Every structure is written in structure tokens, then in C-alpha cells.
């Protein structure tokens, strides 16, 4: 008789170590750290966890869902294999070769990255990854759950070891995808973004600023961060000021860092930007 599909969840403890590990311990559910036996085990509560969900309506699941809305950490997994077997399978996909004999952890379990990683792996690796999985769901940056159905021919097969190699193009693609999240985290630490807001709310406000930095031709992450930070201080449309727009247009032709432009902004422009920002804040009050 075929085993019934059961519900599990992958939880990225690094998203909120102070809440996620204690929540699992208090839930009474069966869970394991996928970092056990690896050097990453020293991360403790910031590890990657796999847990069973026997009751989707349980209070701890609702709390986990709410944490995920603020700090993306949750991937729902439906599988017919046991939790220990599923843990073995997921461990096999944690690391990948990136050239020159180097390996790196690929955070497929970060729901902000899942879709990109599955596409980057290609059909063969993707099918191997999904083999013991009937379905998985994640939100990440999205408003609604994203669903991945298993269309693999190797249904039920658990991978214990697998060799995955990414070329530099793949690595660059993944880094470009994760950079907005990393810069947004820096801006939260700097106090420019309210970290208590839900993740999608924060991201929808941040992403247009980040895209504007790309459109102005800034290639260094530091310049893109400085540009976005300036947009939070002086308003998202600060670059539409005639002086700023001309300076950015000139920089796009000649190159140079964003902070060089800032250092050259005359006092009267700073005053106008400040008044415009204050007027916007009053309008939002």
C-alpha cells in the first residue's frame, strides 16, 4: 500500500534565531537540524531545521506563518518518505562546487531564493531534488504562496550524495538576485527601514529605489546601497531634482562613486531636498 503524503516544513533558523528554535522546541513536534554533523552545526539556533506538521491548524504553525511574513524562513513540503530520510535528501543538496576546487552552501531553503535556485539547477538536478517530494510551497518576496509540483520521473528516490557544479554565470546570477535583500537588511540596521513591517511591504518600497540605482548605472553594491540610503533620507524621487539628475547623468558617462556626487552637492540643493523631504513626511502624517 502506498504511503500517504505527509506535511513537513523547512525552517531557516537564521531568519529569526531567537524565536524559531524555541518555537520548535515548545511545539512538541518532531524536528531535526540539517546541520548536525557539519561544521555549520555551531550556528545553533540559526541552523536549518526540518519539522513535521501533524496539525496545520496548531498554534505553533500559525505563529511560524506569521514569523515567515516578517522574516521569510518557511518552505512547506509534502512527501511520502520519513523525516530522517527527507533530512538525508535535503543535506545532499546543501553544497555545490563553484570552481577552482571551492564549494559553497546554496541556500535553496531561503524562500526568497527557492525559485531562482530551482531554475539555476536545471531540469536534471531539479528532478532529483523533487523526487521524494510531492509538492512544495514558499512565499519569500511574494504575496501568495508559490507552488512547485513534482513532475519528476524518479518519484520517491532519496539522494544521499550528489555532485552539483555551478559556473561563474550561475554564481553571478544568484548574487544579483540576493543583493536587494542584503542591501535592505543593511538599511534596516542603519535605521532607514522599519524592520517591524512585513517583508513584502518593506520590499515593495525598497525595490523601485534599487532598480533606479541600477538604471543610473551603478555597478558596485556599495554605490547602490549609498544611493538607496540617500533616497530614504531625501525622498524616493530625489534624483528628479534638476541638479541631481544632471550630476547622475554626467556620472553615468564618466563613472565614479555615488558618494563623490554627494560630496559635490551645493548647500542650496541640499536645502531644497530637505524641504521636499519634510513636505512629503507632513503629507504622510
| Grid coordinates given for 269 | 540643493
What's residue 56's pLDDT? Answer: 96
Q: Reply yes or no on whether the pLDDT at 163 is more than 50.
A: yes
User: Is there a single domain that holds both residue 12 and residue 129?
Assistant: yes
Report yes or no on 152 lying in a domain.
Answer: yes
Q: Name the CA dihedral angle for 3, 107, 151, 51, rounded to a multiple of 10 degrees.
A: 20
How many angstroms separate the CA atoms of 169 and 17, rounded? 32
* Residue of 240, 242, 220 lying closest to 231 (CA atoms): 240
CB 86 within 8 A of CB 8: yes
Over residues 98-119, the mean pLDDT reads 91
Over residues 144-161, the mean pLDDT reads 84
How many angstroms separate the CA atoms of 40 and 95, rounded? 12
Q: Reply yes or no on whether the pLDDT at 154 is more than 90.
A: no
User: Is there a single domain that holds both residue 12 and residue 141?
Assistant: yes
Helix (H, G, I), strand (E, B) or coil at 105: strand
How many angstroms separate the CA atoms of 75 and 111, rounded? 6
Task: Give the range among 8-22, 94-108, 122-136, 210-224 with minimum mean pLDDT.
Answer: 94-108
Task: Count structural domains, the chain.
Answer: 2
Report yes or no on 120 lying in a domain.
Answer: yes
For 70, left (φ over 0), alpha (ψ -120 to 50), or beta? alpha
Reported confidence tier of residue 26, pLDDT bands at 50, 70, 90: very high
What's residue 283's pLDDT? Answer: 55
14 or 153, greater pLDDT:
14
Q: Reply yes or no on whether the pLDDT at 115 is more than 70.
A: yes
How many angstroms separate the CA atoms of 240 and 249, rounded? 11
268 or 156, greater pLDDT:
268
Q: Reply yes or no on whether the pLDDT at 145 is more than 60.
A: yes
Helical axes 59-70 vs 199-215, angle rounded to 10°? 20
Reported confidence tier of residue 141, pLDDT bands at 50, 70, 90: very high
81 or 2, greater pLDDT:
81
What's residue 152's pLDDT? Answer: 66
What's residue 182's pLDDT? Answer: 97
Cell 547623468: give the residue. 249
Q: What number of H helices and E strands is found in the chain?
A: 10, 8
User: Is there a single domain that holds both residue 177 and residue 40?
Assistant: no
Of 166, 189, 220, which residue is a domain's last? 166
What's residue 38's pLDDT? Answer: 92
User: Is there a single domain that holds both residue 186 and residue 55?
Assistant: no
Task: Give the range among 88-92, 194-198, 229-233, 279-283 with minimum mean pLDDT.
Answer: 279-283
What's residue 46's pLDDT? Answer: 96
User: Is there a single domain that holds both residue 136 and residue 240?
Assistant: no
H or E stretch covering 30: none
Of 142, 166, 190, which residue is a domain's last? 166
User: Is there a single domain that holds both residue 224 and residue 246?
Assistant: yes
What's residue 273's pLDDT? Answer: 84
| Grid coordinates given for 107 | 541556500
197 CB-near residues (< 8 Å, 6+ apart): 70
Average pLDDT, the chain: 92
Report yes or no on 1 lying in a domain.
Answer: no
Instruction: For residue 165, give the DSSP letter.
Output: B
Of 124, 142, 166, which residue is a domain's last? 166
What's residue 1's pLDDT? Answer: 42
User: Is there a single domain that holds both residue 245 and residue 124?
Assistant: no
254 or 280, greater pLDDT:
254
CB 250 within 8 A of CB 260: no
The span from the first CA to the last CA of the chain, in angstroms, equals: 63
User: Is there a single domain that holds both residue 240 and residue 222?
Assistant: yes
User: Is there a single domain that holds both residue 175 and residue 89?
Assistant: no
User: Is there a single domain that holds both residue 33 and residue 88?
Assistant: yes
How many angstroms separate the CA atoms of 136 and 147, rounded? 6
User: Is there a single domain that holds both residue 132 and residue 159?
Assistant: yes
State which residues form the domain around 194. Answer: 171-284
Q: Reply yes or no on whether the pLDDT at 223 is more than 90.
A: yes
Report yes or no on 227 lying in a domain.
Answer: yes
What's residue 144's pLDDT? Answer: 96
User: Is there a single domain that holds both residue 109 and residue 134?
Assistant: yes
Q: Reply yes or no on whether the pLDDT at 20 is more than 90.
A: yes
Report yes or no on 206 lying in a domain.
Answer: yes
Share of the chain above pLDDT 90, in %: 77
Amino acid at each position: 500500500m502506498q504511503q500517504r503524503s505527509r506535511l513537513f516544513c523547512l525552517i531557516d533558523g537564521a531568519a529569526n534565531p531567537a524565536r524559531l528554535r524555541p518555537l520548535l522546541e515548545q511545539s512538541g513536534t518532531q524536528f531535526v537540524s540539517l546541520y548536525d554533523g557539519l561544521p555549520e552545526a555551531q550556528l545553533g539556533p540559526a541552523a536549518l531545521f526540518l519539522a513535521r506538521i501533524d496539525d496545520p491548524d496548531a498554534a505553533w504553525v500559525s505563529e511560524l506563518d506569521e514569523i515567515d511574513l516578517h522574516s521569510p524562513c518557511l518552505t512547506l513540503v509534502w512527501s511520502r518518505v520519513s523525516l530522517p530520510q527527507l533530512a538525508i535528501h535535503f543535506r545532499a543538496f546543501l553544497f555545490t562546487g563553484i570552481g577552482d576546487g571551492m564549494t559553497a552552501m546554496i541556500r535553496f531553503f531561503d524562500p526568497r531564493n527557492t525559485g531562482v535556485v530551482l531554475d539555476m539547477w536545471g531540469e536534471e538536478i531539479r528532478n532529483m531534488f523533487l523526487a521524494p517530494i510531492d509538492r512544495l510551497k514558499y512565499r519569500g518576496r511574494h504575496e501568495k504562496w508559490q507552488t512547485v509540483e513534482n513532475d519528476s520521473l524518479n518519484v520517491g528516490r532519496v539522494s544521499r550524495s550528489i555532485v552539483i557544479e555551478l559556473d561563474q554565470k550561475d554564481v553571478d546570477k544568484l548574487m544579483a538576485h540576493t543583493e536587494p535583500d542584503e542591501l535592505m537588511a543593511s538599511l534596516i540596521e542603519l535605521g532607514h527601514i522599519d524592520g517591524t513591517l512585513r517583508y513584502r511591504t518593506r520590499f515593495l518600497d525598497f525595490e523601485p529605489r534599487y532598480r533606479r540605482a541600477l538604471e543610473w548605472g551603478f555597478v558596485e553594491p556599495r554605490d547602490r546601497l549609498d544611493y538607496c540610503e540617500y533616497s530614504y533620507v531625501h525622498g524616493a524621487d530625489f534624483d528628479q531634482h534638476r541638479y541631481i539628475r544632471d550630476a547622475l547623468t554626467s556620472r553615468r558617462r564618466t563613472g565614479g562613486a555615488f558618494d563623490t556626487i554627494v560630496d559635490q552637492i551645493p548647500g542650496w540643493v541640499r536645502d531644497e531636498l530637505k524641504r521636499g523631504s519634510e513636505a512629503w513626511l507632513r503629507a504622510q502624517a
